[in-house]
Structure 1
């Protein structure tokens, strides 16, 4: 059999369309079509990826008959090529010995590096959020009313510095995390589900540990602040710092374990990639545009309100940023985020109603 016939046979065995095979190999559908019409030939790295994906040897794929790997291997007589292909793919040896294509369940492999990406993405996002919270917590140690340094002009500067360092550290993880996610989805718009039931059970146990540990850390922080307020009469400064510094690992556990578990849903990943592909092809959902526009307007209004509270309130004009509504200027953004969530949910419900 020719390479063309072998590739078509392997696709048929796995019920893979040209488009899905192209997604798995990181090439265009047109490339697969050219390979199967013998108008082009894949490069060596793509040939090895095909061998890994289907559990066949390079010799069988290029020169032999993948439907009869044992027979074609002996006929070809290229033991060096066989051994190199088997070393690249452990499944190849087993399929060659058995004389048949390995079962579909055995062939599911992480050839795209999705699992490593999933763990790193969750770590960066969770670490970024925790870093911002920890920066604010450390800044509270220098609260002007109860600073660990006592009354000193450096308190406000150190508080601002700690918050800035926390935000910068957080963004240094959040931005690369988001960019890596976008790049991975661009390079691998389709990922074959290779996770087993044991993998999902292990991640579920990790999620439970993360939730329990996170809740425990936050409750300890609350207990510290209540004790400091009721027993010591201290409500600002180090109690808030301890609370936020305990919240940081708690939130890290929630986000990291939650993301790791949710990203096991390969079907959702593939569906999102398919939706993105349709949008780029000119089929962008009107309701998605509407949601983006509404949320953008809400956050612009929240930003204007926050800036007005910070710079144009009577207290701010007097140069006092620690009292009154001026000290609560940041509340505008969380409220804006909540309103965005409500608006997006309402638009989605309206869309579902119209589609029914």
Structure 2
């Protein structure tokens, strides 16, 4: 394995990849990569195969060959013997190899999705909008039974049916959201670094999807808003089914916008790697105090928003014009404001997460 050290350095240089990035990709520590490249230790067979798959080389080339100039590698004879054929050219010594600064002259193999990132993100991108849609749609369905203008008229079943629709919507939504969120967090902890393997064609396709989703989603929301205004101005109905139809259209529009944004955002692997590193640090208990304060503030805000929303729903007939759901919207905005402020304070004090992951 005398050539492995230089081969690995060469392959990393082709991809402009640091030891830390390769370590995260392989699921080992940065110190392990350093030991491999200083010949203090050698990787196990499964790690060798992962390196071969990732860089697109054979095991022979990686371990005993010369990936810098594969045409100079020792070849085997065509017969049944095991002795190498004398080609007249000796293998390159380390001193004869080109310097690492020249490695970029050779074309690097295209990056591959060896972590299953694309399949995972497509599943994640479908589940999150589905969960959001189910929750908003359930609230909209419940508004059909608003006691002020129920489709059943005056009935003792109105409150029960409204509650049932909302609960079913929330349950279905959580069935999508909770497993998707937990699975995504686990994926990021297991794969804190993913090399960017997307092509320009992939990015163009994602931009088209985002454009269609934005136009369609905003259009549906505007149609719902026009329906509410029409029902109020011309039909003199400002509660019940107009709000229900509006929320159902909003559910479709928001789900479309969220899907388009997530579908496009999955290509931003730099942001994914940053977030995944934060997840990794959180799992290792390495997060700084700013992140913990921000999480505590946002958690408190959303708990208060939930209490306020449910109180208006069950004790004050849904609040003014049934707008109890706005408590969650306001809570989300306050969380965003809190995050911006804390990040600004963090930046002003120079508290950046630049520690090396070990």
TM-score, structure 1 normalization: 0.78
The answer for the alignment partner of 2:20 in structure 1 is 19
Contact 1:278–1:284 (8 Å) recurs in 2: yes
- Offset from partner CA, 1:257-289 (integer Å, 9 cap, x none): 111212211112222334455566665333223
Q: How has the CA–CA distance of structure 1 residues 187 and 133 changed in structure 2, closer, same or farther, with 3 Å as cutoff?
A: same
The answer for the alignment partner of 2:346 in structure 1 is 351
The answer for the alignment partner of 2:176 in structure 1 is 173
SS of 2:73's equivalent in the other structure is: helix
The answer for the alignment partner of 2:220 in structure 1 is 217
Contact 2:185–2:279 (8 Å) recurs in 1: no
SS of 2:317's equivalent in the other structure is: coil
- Offset from partner CA, 1:102-136 (integer Å, 9 cap, x none): 723x4212111222222222211111111111111
Contact 1:53–1:107 (8 Å) recurs in 2: no
1:1-356 to 2 correspondence within 5 Å? 2-33=3-34, 35-36=36-37, 37=39, 39-44=41-46, 46-72=47-73, 74-75=75-76, 103-104=107-108, 106-277=109-280, 284-302=287-305, 316=315, 321-322=316-317, 331-355=326-350
User: How far off its partner does 1:305 sit?
Assistant: 5.3
**2: CA distance, partners of 1:162 / 1:310:** 13
Q: How has the CA–CA distance of structure 1 residues 225 and 296 changed in structure 2, closer, same or farther, with 3 Å as cutoff?
A: closer
- Offset from partner CA, 1:65-110 (integer Å, 9 cap, x none): 323434537337799xxxxxxxxxxxxxxxxxxxx99723x42121
User: How far off its partner does 1:21 sit?
Assistant: 1.5
Query: Of Structure 1 and Structure 2, which has the larger fraction of its residues in helix?
Result: 1
Contact 1:64–1:76 (8 Å) recurs in 2: no
SS of 2:76's equivalent in the other structure is: helix
Q: How has the CA–CA distance of structure 1 residues 214 and 77 changed in structure 2, closer, same or farther, with 3 Å as cutoff?
A: farther
Q: CA RMSD in A?
A: 3.3
- Count of residues in correspondence between the two structures: 326
Which structure 2 segments of 5+ residues have no match? 81-103, 352-358
**1: CA distance, partners of 2:194 / 2:174:** 28
Q: How has the CA–CA distance of structure 1 residues 215 and 76 changed in structure 2, closer, same or farther, with 3 Å as cutoff?
A: farther
